[in-house]
Structure 1
Amino acid sequence: MNRYETPSDADLMLSLREGDSCAFTEIYHRYWKQLLAVAYLHCKDKTMAEEIVQEVFISLWNRRSELYIDNINAYLATAVKLSVFKQYARQKRRDEIKEQVAAPDITTFDEEQIYTRFLQQQINGVVEVLPEKCRLVFKLSREEGLTIPEVARSMGIAEKTAEAHLTKALKVLKLRLNRPYIWVILLLKALMH
């Protein structure tokens, strides 16, 4: 790109797909204020709006090599709106779980059960948006309890590839959920199989 010309969105997307962090930074600076306004318009909560915009940009970076976007502005605005709706859906699910489990005298154990179920739903939501092979490796490893060699044989891929997919899945979960106790739940699930 000529440093005297402003790159087009199409040029930025090409560079982004190649892993160019400068292209990502340019997209961020070009659209973050507008996206924050869109998020705030839909959720009326500044903190939530900021978190949603951050999640959308993290997702853009994490999925850069598999995205083919014609209109970055429209894509990001739609992603923000969907994230707002997902946030509302998560809150609704959490409220429903509380109602299902709630009793007149909720004990600490009951609260932990509610939170564990809610957390599991959050993990499931993040896993569902992982790239296909990454998602499959994660499910075989964490839900089916297969070892990396077993996952590799099952999928017909190299062990290193299976390991790389699992590492990527765990990194995405860590970024999205950013809570240390999630790893305890994931570990317990693996040990129970």
Structure 2
Amino acid sequence: MTSYSSYTDQELLSLLKAGDRMSFTEIYNRYWMVAYRSAIQVLKDEEACMDVLQDVFVWLWQHHEQLSVHSLKAYLLTAVKFKMLNVIRQGRLKDIAYSKIKVDEYEAETNLEVKELMRMIEEFAETLPSQARQIFHLSRYDHLSNKEIAHKLGISEKTVKNQINISLKKLKSNLGKMSLWCTML
């Protein structure tokens, strides 16, 4: 009997489409760590990462007959990316958009998924009204407290807090719209 570890991704996908459980197990063993690393870099929460991976791999098994995948690794990483966006959109991690994305510039440059998410957040920030954009940048990029921002801009701390909350809600909604086509994952 041939070891499944010697099969190519395409061979494993063909077997998976036919309902072969061992091919699924091999796919899981081959790619769960890569998928986990991708998720943990963004979410910084092991439980949330494990939930994302479980959702992706359960979906893969439940829909194995309909799969039309060219690159298994790319498909799984994309599925993880959109599941993470769903986690962010649904607010399952408080202020995940920035408070948990603590990636240094080198990691951001070397990690395509994080770069893409950061690009979407930066594009979103540019669409905010002037004062909201300034508050958002001071809070999330300069890491100033609400009190420091209020003092710097000459506005109330409550205004700063409200503007940040409104901006984060809009961000979650915006990210959700971008990933809407992938909610079935």
Higher relative CO (Cα under 8 Å, sequence separation at least 6) belongs to 2
- Normalised by the length of structure 2, the TM-score is 0.48
- Normalised by the length of structure 1, the TM-score is 0.47
